[in-house]
Amino acid sequence: MKRKKVFVTGMSGYVGQCLCRELDRGTYCGKFYGMDVKEPLYKFTKGEFRKMDVNDPALAEWIKEIQPDVIVHLAYVLQPSHDSAGMRKINVDGTKNVLDAAKKAGVKQILVTSSGTAYGAWPDNPVPITEDDPIRRHPGFQYARDKADMEAILAEFVEENPDIITSWVRPCIIYGPNVDNYISQLFTLPIAMDLKGCPSPQLQFVHEDDVVAALMFLLKKEARGPYNLAPPDTMTLSEVNALSGKPAAPLTPSLMGAIFRTTWALGLPILKVPESFLDFVQYPWVLDTSKLMDLGFKYTYSTRETIEIMLRAKGIIP
């Protein structure tokens, strides 16, 4: 098989660095290029990096110069921000900029990371959610809202460019030994938070290695369309808290929401999430993963194994 020339946006992000390490040691590509607003932590033998914003006009010029076979778009902001306009500019406008650049450069294949949160967290969500279920834009939690808006742009792009092989993944919560974000911080607080007075929803956690393996799998398969990305097993919030071995504080949804609202308004260094995130704690958004598995993909880690690895890496459990 001819080795591909790959371009990666968000090369220095959590998933980006994991993917680039695989590209560097694997045989899929002979050369890869990437950009981000900060330098990656690793040096890559086959990789070339440029410090650049995803909305920089120079990005399209560089992509046209390189003429990559494949673009993997990973540049996004996960951490909730009080600068909602700046976050949207990267997550939504940045995606449109990359897709426009890819089209102008004649790129033949594109893979984008979306999110399972794009479905929205709603009391009447089907359990599990399949790729055939509609995207129901969550109006409050910006990361989910941006991903839903990004998917609308993707859908329009696919319709207008059927000749370009376009696929996108919708991961659940991504964990692993290297994760460090507001979601992992929620489980590393001195006291665990649990929901009181409502059913504890099922949660899924996908290992960073399985995310990279799935991305490479879809690239090699030249797959099209959306794919949920989550192990088939689930855990409740109560089960995760029990696994951590920490004392749990049972909170009603209204009290938990008030805590999120207060810490967000004060800009405290803990619980850095807006109140709207509560919907993704109390309402189901379990992903059906059979489409990817029916294509032949196999997960190495279960949800339980993934959360155990994260808790062990953070020193929460031995």
Q: CA quadruple 268, 183, 258, 237: dihedral positive or negative?
A: negative
Compute CA distances 218 → 9, 85, 145, 269, 316, whole Å: 17, 32, 25, 37, 34
Provide the mean pLDDT of the chain.
Answer: 94
Task: Please determine, for residue 269, whether its predicted confidence score (pLDDT) is greater than 80.
Answer: no
Q: Where are the domains of the chain?
A: 4-174+205-229+287-300
Q: What would the mean pLDDT of 50-77 be, rounded to a whole number?
A: 97
**Considering only CA atoms, which of 237, 216, 199 is closest in space to residue 292?**
216
Give the Cα separation of 91 and 85 in Å (integer): 10
Contact 38, 65 (CB under 8 A): no
3-state secondary structure of 226: strand
* pLDDT value of position 184: 82
Query: Which tens digits make up the pLDDT trace of 280-318?
Result: 999 999 999 999 999 999 999 999 999 999 999 999 999
* pLDDT value of position 178: 86
Q: What would the mean pLDDT of 146-175 be, rounded to a whole number?
A: 97
Give the Cα separation of 183 and 205 in Å (integer): 11
Residue 215 contacts by C-beta under 8 Å, 6 or more apart in sequence?
A: 19, 72, 111, 113, 169
Task: Please determine, for residue 9, whether its predicted confidence score (pLDDT) is greater than 90.
Answer: yes
Give the Cα separation of 260 and 273 in Å (integer): 6
Give the Cα separation of 167 and 181 in Å (integer): 26
Task: Please determine, for residue 82, whether its predicted confidence score (pLDDT) is greater than 80.
Answer: yes
Query: Which tens digits make up the pLDDT trace of 161-189?
Result: 999 999 999 999 999 998 888 888 788 78
Task: Please determine, for residue 200, whether its predicted confidence score (pLDDT) is greater than 90.
Answer: no
CATH of domain 4-174+205-229+287-300: 3.40.50.720
Q: What would the mean pLDDT of 103-126 be, rounded to a whole number?
A: 97
